[in-house]
Amino acid sequence: MSDELADRVRDVLAVDAEEYQAQAEADAEVVKSELAAGTFDNHQSIVGLEYEFYAVADGRWASEETENNGLMRVPRRLLELIGFEKELGLHNAEMTTSPQPLNPHGLRAQESEVLARLTAALQCTSSEGMRLVSDALWTIPPQGETAREYLTDSISDGGIRIATNMTDAVRYHAMANGEHPVEQMSIDAPHVELSADTVMPESLITSIQPHYQVAHAADLPLYFNYALRVAGPLLALGVNSPFFPPDLYDDAGPAEILADAHMENRIAVFESVLNGEDAKKVRFPDDLPDVETAVDRVAADATIVPMPVPRGDRFDDSFATLRRKHGTFWRWVRPVFDGATKSSANARIEFRPIAAQPTVQDSMAFQAAFAGLMESLPKREHPVINQEWATARENFYAAMRDGFESEQRWVANDGHETTDPVEVYDDILAHAVDGLKSAGCSEAEADRYVAPLRVRAAAGQTPAGWKVDRVRERLDDGADFETAVYEMQRDYIERQTETLLEGSFADWV
C-alpha cells in the first residue's frame, strides 16, 4: 500500500510547476469569460453543507474506564458502506449533503438528509464498537498510543515521507515531499508543543462548512464581504475547542493552561500547520471588489504542490486546473465556482469558521442562520457592510481567542457601533430570521432554526465554555489535568449520545 502511495506522490512531484501555473491562469480566463456570459447565474439561492466527524471507541469492549472513547481508525470498507467520504486522518469521516434551494422544503431536506444518513452511519459503526463524534478537536488518543505518536508517526518509502495514520490523499502526502514543502508542520497554540514531518497534525480538527450559492454571480462580492463581517460574531457563538490532547502540552500548570487557552484552537491548528513563511495559505481573506478578483486570487494563490489534472467532457473540465488549485485555496471564507454542466454551474460562498457542533440541531442552526443572514443583510442594505475590514478581521481572531467574551464589535441596524452582546446578537439573529422568512419560512419555522443560537447568546454559554467549566470542576475536585480533560471529553460524548439526533446544546446548559 505504501509503495503504491509513494509512487503516486512521485508522479505528483514530477508535474511541472510553471506549466501548472500557466494552465491555472488560462483556466481563470475561461471562468471569467463564462461569468461575463451569465453561465454561473441561477436566479435562486441554494444551500449545502459539509459535516465532518471523528470516530471513537464506544466503550463496550473496554476493560477499564480509562480505555473508553479513545480515537479509532475507520476501516475504509466501513466508510464506503456508510456513504461518507475520506478526510485527512484515518479516524475522520465526512458527509456532504445534496444542494437544495433555500426555501422551507430545501432546509427541511438538508436536515432530514443529515439525520437519515447519520442515523444509518451510527448503526453501522456501532456494530464495529465505534461511534462518530461531532466535535471540533479530539483529545483522547487511540488506546495504547499517545496523541503525539499518532500524529507524528511516519515512514520513508524510497525517500518519500508517508504519514502512517493519514488517508491516501496524495496532495497532503506530497506537501511533505515537494521541492518547496511547508517549512514547519507544527502547532502554534498556548503551551502546546508539536512538530511533525507531515501535515497530519491538521487531522486534530473537524468542522461544518455551510455553502450559500448566490443567484447572480456578479453579486458574489457583496455577499462575500457581508460574510466576512458575520464571521467573528458567529464564530464567537460556535467555539468548541479549548483543549488539546493532554500529552501535547508543555510543563505549564493547569491554571496557566486554562487562563491562556484559546476557545477555538481549531483556527490556530489549521493556520499554523499549513502556513509557511512565504505562503499564508490559511487566513482571513480580504474584501472582494468584484467577482473577477475572486477568480484571479485562486489562480494567483501560492502553489505548494502542483497536481496532475485529467480533463474530460464536463463543463468544469474546461477549468479543471483552477478547480484543483482551489482545493488548496484555504481561506476562512472562500468563493467557489463549480458545475459539471453549464446548467448546473454556480458561484457560491463556503463558510469555514464554524467547528463541528454538539448536536445536529446546533449544526443546522448555523447553516440556517448563515443562509438567513446572506438573504437579509444585502437586501436590507445593512450598515455593517461599512465596517472596516480590519475590524472584521480582529473580531474573527478575538472570537478565536476569547469566544463569547471577545466583545465583538458590530454595527447595529440603526448604524451605531456596539459591543453589547445583547445588542449584537439581537440584531444578527433577527436578520437571520428575517432572511429565512424572506426565503419562505414561517416565522415559527425560522425561529426554530435559530433558537439554539439564541439560547447560547442569552446564557452567554458556548460548547467551549462548557468544556472549560467541566475541566475546572474536576480540577477543583482534585483530578490531575489529564484526567480532568479526559473526563470532560467522555462527558461530552455521553451527552452527545443522548442529544445528537433529537436535542441541542441548549439541553446541556
For residue 90, pLDDT over 60 is answered with: yes
| Answer CATH for 2-307+327-507 from 2.60.40.3080, 3.30.590.20, 3.40.1160.10, 3.30.460.80 | 3.30.590.20
- The full set of domain ranges for the chain reads 2-307+327-507
Amino acid at the residue 324: R
Under 8 Å between Cβ of 249 and 192: yes
Instruction: Specify the pLDDT at position 67.
Output: 63
Q: Which range, of 167-171, 339-343, 392-396, 484-488, averages the lowest pLDDT?
A: 167-171
Residues 6+ apart with CB under 8 A from 149: 141
Round to whole Å and give the CA distance between 170 and 166.
10
Choose among 427, 426, 318, 413: nearest CA to 39: 318
| pLDDT, tens only, 292-312 | 999 999 999 998 888 889 888
Task: Report which DSSP code applies to 95.
Answer: E
Q: What is the rounded CA–CA span in Å between residue 441 and residue 362?
A: 18
d(CA 409, CA 429): 15
Q: What is the pLDDT of residues 25-65, one digit of tens each?
A: 999 999 999 999 999 998 889 999 999 999 999 977 655 55
Q: Cα dihedral angle (347, 230, 500, 46), rounded to 10 degrees?
A: -20
